[in-house]
Amino acid sequence: MKAQIASFVMAAALVVSGAAQAQDFPSKPIEVSIWAAAGGGTDVTNRLLAEAMQKHLDTRINAVNRTGGGGGVAMTHVWNQDHDGHSWLGASEAMQVVKVMGYHDTGTPDWRWYMVGGWPGVISVPENSPYKSFQDMVDASKENPGSVRISHCPLGCVWHMKALASGQAADIEFTYVPYDGSAPAHIAAMSGEVDAVVSGIGEQAEFIRAGRLRPIAMTEMEPFDFPEIGQIEAVGADYPKVQEIPTRQWLGMAIPKDTPEEAVAIIDEAFEAAIQDPSIQEFAQERLMVISGLYGEEAEAELQKMENAMSWALFDLGIATTSPDQLGIAKP
Amino acid sequence: MLQSFFVQLVEIATPINMLVMVSATALGIIFGALPGLTATLAVALLSTLTFGFSTELAMVALIGAYVGAIYGPAHSSILLGIPGSAAGAATAIDGHILAKQGKSGQAIATATLASVIGTIFGIIAMVLLSPFLVELALNFTSIEFFLLALFGVLICGSLTAPDMPVKGWIAGIFGLMLAGIGIETIQGFQRFTFGNPNLAGGIDVVPVILGGFALPQVFRVLRDREMKQTIVTNIGSLMPDWLAIWRNKFGVMRSGAIGVGVGVIPGVGEDIAAWASYDAARKLDPKPESFGTGNIRGVVASETANNACIGGAIIPVLTLGVPGSPPAAMLLGALNLHGVRPGPMLSFEFPNFIPQMAAMLAWASLTVLVLGLLMVRISVQVLRIPTAILMPVVAFLAVLGSYSLGLNMFNIYMMFFFGVVVYLLEEIGYPIAPVVIGLLLGNMADVSLRRALLASGGSVEPFFTRPLAILFLALIIISLSFQSTFVRNLFSRTFRRRAKV
């Protein structure tokens, strides 16, 4: 408790004295504006990342939740600050659709991305479900198109894309039922309202461990080793077309791309060190997160593909009303 | 579970925990009492502030703030007729009239007692019934959500000026239409937004409540010369009306049960609990027409239910990882922040966690009792403030409250718009309460119905084959037929005849 009070006092002191430092970067405390609410994956990851990175940066990193507008509120705030590396965006895969959805004017090429990691997606069924494998679901759908109902987070979210990708890869028609988030989507599967749910493996882990949900297949190319349960096969093993919608869930942060080079170099270095930090590694292991650690050009290349794919998919679904063409987003 | 609860009750009572509990509860009460600052906001704010605390201490702070903020609106609802949040809006109906009659002190004290009793219901449910209630929550599919919302909307008809129930329905439908605005979530289609991005997210309930309850009061004071002089100087007794609660013990139990039940259902919160309980109390009262004219039972019903809802809402958070109400969603976030992963495994991994949370609730309710009764003395002084000062303050709070929600100017415009609209509606005899209910439940009714049909392949059969759905259908039919005077007379006649025999 004493240490906590002390750290609060220290933080306050740093806020006051920050401006007095002579060094160019960091010359004051850094603020991460997290676009999602406190307690979610984006939030927890960014708070841990901030703590790990401030060990390597000579300043305090404060995390603030600026929710709303599908991420637009946080992005607008960060974009309106000086682009000097002191204002970061707590980001996730949702940032790849803000442009097409009209939540913010910037897109993937306008930011420099730092990806900590993310969850692979998994299709699960309630414990008493007749489906034993993804092939069972495919067979049932072939016999009776639309008879297999899959719940997922809101329209256009990453797990909706993953569910679509799995269905399209096997050339079958699922019925996709959107919920307000992954949590109610899990409940819908457990109560038998739908036949299966697609969400992140980390989000489902507690239900899988308790035996309430039974994992059927990963919506990815690679199988996944679930501790205590064993290997979960991937849809991609039989249906490699699943990678045609190149989306993946990721958590991390971003800074405006026109941040001065010196600051970028310092942040890059701190990020690389922080990824190796035991707190991040432990968190990833506990939450079944797959560490990525990509940043800069490599991250942008991957996320650009994702922005293209998701933007066009959203436009084709009629959720996004502006054509990605007009926004300069290439068709995949 | 019970034994472990009592052990926890003693174990968490350390001085530092109690200090944090008292300050957090006081903060919660103030947040709740101030219009526009909601329980959700109080818990959200504290969950980031307590990030550096140990899990136990952080939870003590959050539970304290949660209970305090659900109780807090009772003060502003009764004294000013402006509910601090939707959860307190049902309290305002009878509570404010009681204050005008010079019984404000007793009304608040009784509301305090009712809140404490309600919280205790929640604790009992958590300790004894949580495994059973979780299974109940899992039986709620979209069909039941739709029927529940429909049932809630039907409440509108009875929340009206007694002369014309139809006006309540019209106001309720107005609320439902408001709920239709925004991007709907099944197909992502923009409805009635007229291309305005501010409307894309739908209409928030807080500006409607603040505009609807606060501004018309200001307008009326500006209009009527006499009202400028009338100040309620009589505040009456400051002790709770123990007798009223004792005589109404079955009503209190019913309110507690409704509160817990509504709380357990994922996504339906304190506001619905309060309204549903108020409606049940009114319908089952021997003198339903006395509700809305300053009946203390109306205050007791809504305050018991909204606090009972807390314990109910925490159960699905801990056992399913799904929040039962918006503030509980913030609590879930805070638990994740502290590395506790709520879900079906929680009771195996941390067997003491649920009893510990229940013990915190128990201490929070005791704190509310003490602080609440102490605060009555101070907060009733608000009534001594001359109207010329009070009304500008009310208008200011309405503006501030609307803005504090999402820091959005658009909500202030909305608040003024609804202030004017509701003032005009009330002048021609339409009540505001059904508008709020319609807005709260409209989206749930709409989305749940379409989701249910999507999942059933367009068939309405499950509406008549699922046991819970049938129960709700029966409730709806009973509730509807009680709206008709014919059925009511028939019912009371048979009842009387039997009593004679």
**CATH pick for A121-244 out of 3.90.170.10, 3.30.2420.10, 3.40.190.10, 3.40.50.1370:** 3.40.190.10
Residue B199's closest chain A neighbor by CA? A69
Q: Note whether B271 and B85 are within 8 A (CB).
A: yes
Q: Note whether B304 and B71 are within 8 A (CB).
A: no
Nearest to B406 among A68, A205, A317 (CB): A68
Neighbours of A136 (CB within 10 A): 15
Contacts of A206 in chain B (CB under 8 A): 321, 341-346
CB contact (8 A) between residue A175 and residue B142: no
Quick one: which H or E segment has residue B132? Answer: helix B130-138
How would DSSP label each residue in B272-340?
HHHHHHHHHHHHHSS-GGGTTSS-HHHHHHHHHHHHHHHHHHHHHHHHHS--SSHHHHHHHHHHHHTT-
Print burial letters for B125-137: b (CB count within 10 Å at least 16), e (below 16). Answer: bbbebbeebbeeb
The pLDDT assigned to A5 comes to 52
Q: Note whether A20 and A60 are within 8 A (CB).
A: no
Closest-CA residue to B122 (of B257, B322, B318):
B257
Given pLDDT bands bounded at 50, 70 and 90, which one contains residue A16? very low
Residue A51's closest chain B neighbor by CA? B52
Determine how β-strand A175-178 pairs with β-strand A230-232. unpaired
Whether the domain at A28-118+249-316 and the domain at A121-244 fall into the same CATH topology:
yes
Average pLDDT over residues A189-216: 92
User: Any idea where the domains of chain A sit in the sequence?
Assistant: 28-118+249-316, 121-244
Nearest to A1 among B16, B320, B323 (CB): B16
Residue B328's closest chain A neighbor by CA? A39
Nearest to B48 among A38, A40, A207 (CB): A38
CB contact (8 A) between residue B52 and residue A4: yes
Given pLDDT bands bounded at 50, 70 and 90, which one contains residue A183? confident
Give strand ranges (E) for chain A: 30-34, 61-65, 87-92, 111-118, 121-126, 149-152, 175-178, 196-200, 213-218, 224-226, 230-232, 251-256, 290-291
CB contact (8 A) between residue B457 and residue A68: no
Determine how β-strand A251-256 pairs with β-strand A111-118. antiparallel
Average pLDDT over residues A95-106: 90
Q: Note whether B135 and B315 are within 8 A (CB).
A: no
Dist CA A87 CA A258 (whole Å): 13
Query: Which residues, given as ranges, of chain B have pLDDT below 50?
Result: 501
Please say if the pLDDT value at position A163 is more than 50.
yes
How would DSSP label each residue in B442-465?
HHHHHHHHHHHHHHTTT--THHHH
Neighbours of B80 (CB within 10 A): 25
Closest approach of B308 to chain A, Cα-based (Å): 23
Determine how β-strand A213-218 pairs with β-strand A251-256. unpaired
- Gyration radius from chain A CA atoms: 21
The pLDDT assigned to A34 comes to 92
In sign, the C-alpha dihedral spanning A279, A282, A287, A293 is positive
Beta bridge partners of A218: A122, A234
Which residues 78-117 of A are in CB contact (within 8 Å) with B?
102
Dist CA B159 CA B434 (whole Å): 7
The pLDDT assigned to B82 comes to 83
Higher pLDDT, A98 or A8: A98
Contacts of A284 in chain B (CB under 8 A): none
What share of chain A has pLDDT > 70, as a percent? 93
The pLDDT assigned to B302 comes to 93
Dist CA A271 CA A276 (whole Å): 9
Please say if the pLDDT value at position A141 is more than 70.
yes
Beta bridge partners of A121: A200
How would DSSP label each residue in B182-227?
EE-TTT--EES-TT-GGGTT---HHHHHHHHHHHHHHHHHHH-HHH
Which residues 236-275 of A are in CB contact (within 8 Å) with B?
none
Residue A209 contacts B where some CB pair is shorter than 8 Å: yes
Contacts of B48 in chain A (CB under 8 A): 38, 63-65
Residue A212 contacts B where some CB pair is shorter than 8 Å: yes
Nearest to A38 among B44, B140, B188 (CB): B44
Mutation site for B-interface testing, chosen from A4, A60, A193 by largest number of B Cβ within 10 Å:
A193
Dist CA A13 CA A18 (whole Å): 8
Least confident of A23-32, A85-94, B8-17, B81-90: B81-90
Dist CA B247 CA A137 (whole Å): 59
Could you tell me the two tokens for B336?
Answer: 């994740």
The pLDDT assigned to A19 comes to 40
Contacts of B186 in chain A (CB under 8 A): 155, 178
The pLDDT assigned to B498 comes to 58
Determine how β-strand A213-218 pairs with β-strand A121-126. antiparallel
Higher pLDDT, B338 or A15: B338
The DSSP output letter for A112 is: E
CB contact (8 A) between residue A206 and residue B345: yes
Tokens 């692979």 — which residue? A120
In one-letter notation, the amino acid at residue B491 is: F
- At residue A161, the 3 state secondary structure works out as helix
Given pLDDT bands bounded at 50, 70 and 90, which one contains residue A23? low
- At residue A197, the 3 state secondary structure works out as strand
Q: What pTM, to 2 d.p., does this model score?
A: 0.81
The pLDDT assigned to B266 comes to 80
User: What angle do helix axes B55-71 and B326-337 make, rounded to 10 degrees?
Assistant: 170
- At residue A31, the 3 state secondary structure works out as strand
CB contact (8 A) between residue A184 and residue B330: no
Please say if the pLDDT value at position A106 is more than 70.
yes
Q: What is the 3-state secondary structure (H, E, C) of B385-432?
A: CCHHHHHHHHHHHHHHHHHHCCCCHHHHHHHHHHHHHHHHHHHCCCCC
Average pLDDT over residues A47-61: 91
Print burial letters for B412-438: b (CB count within 10 Å at least 16), e (below 16). Answer: bebbbebbebbbebbeeebbbbbbbbb
At residue A14, φ and ψ (nearest 5 deg) are -65, -40
Dist CA B246 CA B248 (whole Å): 5
Residue A4's closest chain B neighbor by CA? B52
Strand order in the sheet with A121-126: A175-178, A149-152, A196-200, A121-126, A213-218
Instruction: Write down the CATH superfamily of domain A28-118+249-316.
Output: Bordetella uptake gene, domain 1 (3.40.190.150)
The pLDDT assigned to B406 comes to 65
Please say if the pLDDT value at position A21 is more than 70.
no
Dist CA B306 CA B327 (whole Å): 12
The pLDDT assigned to B389 comes to 83
The pLDDT assigned to B4 comes to 87
Please say if the pLDDT value at position A46 is more than 50.
yes
Closest approach of B54 to chain A, Cα-based (Å): 8
Dist CA B321 CA A178 (whole Å): 18
